[in-house]
């Protein structure tokens, strides 16, 4: 989408010098723990979540390969979110000071980071609107579509069938529902012919209807990167 100069590529590569493996369920960073590191997610799927006073959990975001994690470490001394592996993962940790140097030296990379910030902001506000103003069924449908799309972005083989990789409780924590109600909504989507399920996999059987049920908006359409500053 955007061509990077060799110098820029080399600078980015420095962020990926170290690697760390995580098993499903492993916690990369826990809310309120001191944190001065950031991470690139190299492979696998992770999530970030927060815990509320009453012990309930809200999943904020799912992370896929290529995402930059714990960017809040730039600004906060303590982690604001818990980051957990949903599948076996590889992450590349780096110091925030290294990142600071990177954006000071490479304004175009700084600009690109802002681009991703804005895309993420759009994703968060879509979820906000979904939680505030859409039905349980719509939220579950939207979650299914988002998971499929992000998986598909990394693996062109994937079309209508994919591995969910989440428990129904996790879907509930992402959508603000109970696991029980998530189950009922999945059943309803199935009964209405929009999806079928077979142990952990979901198949979209009427994607049009599912997208309609989900109030889906594609945030990667309509991107415009023409404003980026010139390479240095």
Partner DNA sequence: CGGCTGCTTGAATAGAGTCAATAAACGTGG
Partner DNA sequence: CCACGTTTATTGACTCTATTCAAGCAGCCG
Interaction site with DNA (CB under 7 A):
135-137, 167-169, 176-181, 183-184, 186-187, 197, 199-200
The residue written with tokens 């209508």 in the block is 160
Q: Which is nearer to DNA, 136 or 158 (CB)?
A: 136
Q: Which is nearer to its own copies, 21 or 118 (CB)?
A: 118
CB of 161 to DNA, least distance (A): 16
Residue 56 within binding range of its own copies, rule CB under 8 A:
yes
Q: Taking a C-beta distance cutoff of 8 angstroms, is the pair 19, 92 a contact?
A: yes
Residue 63 bridge partners (DSSP): 46
Under DSSP, the state recorded for 86 is: S
Binding mask 91-110 for its own copies (x = CB under 8 A): -----xx--xx-xxx-xx-x
Distance CA 29, CA 66 (A): 18
**How is the beta sheet containing 68-69 ordered, strand by strand?**
20-22, 89-95, 37-43, 68-69
Query: Residue 55 binds what, of DNA, its own copies, none (CB under 5 to 8 Å, by partner type)?
Result: none
Q: Which is nearer to its own copies, 100 or 153 (CB)?
A: 100
Query: Residue 154 binds what, of DNA, its own copies, none (CB under 5 to 8 Å, by partner type)?
Result: none
Distance CA 166, CA 34 (A): 28
Query: Residue 110 binds what, of DNA, its own copies, none (CB under 5 to 8 Å, by partner type)?
Result: its own copies
Distance CA 69, CA 90 (A): 12
CB of 215 to its own copies, least distance (A): 6
Closest CA to 67 of 95, 100, 35, 45: 45
Binding mask 112-151 for its own copies (x = CB under 8 A): -xxx-xxxxxx-xxxxxx-xxxx-----------------
Buried b (16+ CB within 10 A) or exposed e, 175-202: bbbeeebbbebbebbeeeebbeeeeeeb
Residues at the interface with its own copies (CB under 8 A): 50, 52-53, 56-58, 60, 71-72, 74-78, 80-81, 96-97, 100-101, 103-105, 107-108, 110-111, 113-115, 117-122, 124-129, 131-134, 173, 175-176, 215, 219, 222-225, 227-230
């Amino acid at each position: 989408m955007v061509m990077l100069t060799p110098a820029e590529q080399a600078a980015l590569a420095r962020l990926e010098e170290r690697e760390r493996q995580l098993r499903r369920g492993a916690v990369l960073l826990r809310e309120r723990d001191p944190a001065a590191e950031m991470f690139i997610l190299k492979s696998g799927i992770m999530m970030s979540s927060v815990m509320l006073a009453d012990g309930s959990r809200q999943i904020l975001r799912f992370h896929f390969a290529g995402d930059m994690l714990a960017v809040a470490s730039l600004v906060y001394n303590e982690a604001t979110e818990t980051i957990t592996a949903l599948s076996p993962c590889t992450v590349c940790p780096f110091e925030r000071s290294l990142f600071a140097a990177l954006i000071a030296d490479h304004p175009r990379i700084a600009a690109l980071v802002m681009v991703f910030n804005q895309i993420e902001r759009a994703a968060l506000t879509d979820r906000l609107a979904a939680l505030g103003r859409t039905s349980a069924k719509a939220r579950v449908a939207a979650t299914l579509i988002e998971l499929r799309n992000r998986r598909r972005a990394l693996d062109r083989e994937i079309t209508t069938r994919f591995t969910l990789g989440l428990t129904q409780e996790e879907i509930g924590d992402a959508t603000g529902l109970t696991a029980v109600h998530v189950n009922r909504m999945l059943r309803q989507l199935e009964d209405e012919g929009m999806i079928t399920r077979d142990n952990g996999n979901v198949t979209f059987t009427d994607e049009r209807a599912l997208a309609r049920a989900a109030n889906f908006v594609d945030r990667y359409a309509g991107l415009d990167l023409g404003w980026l500053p010139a390479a240095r």
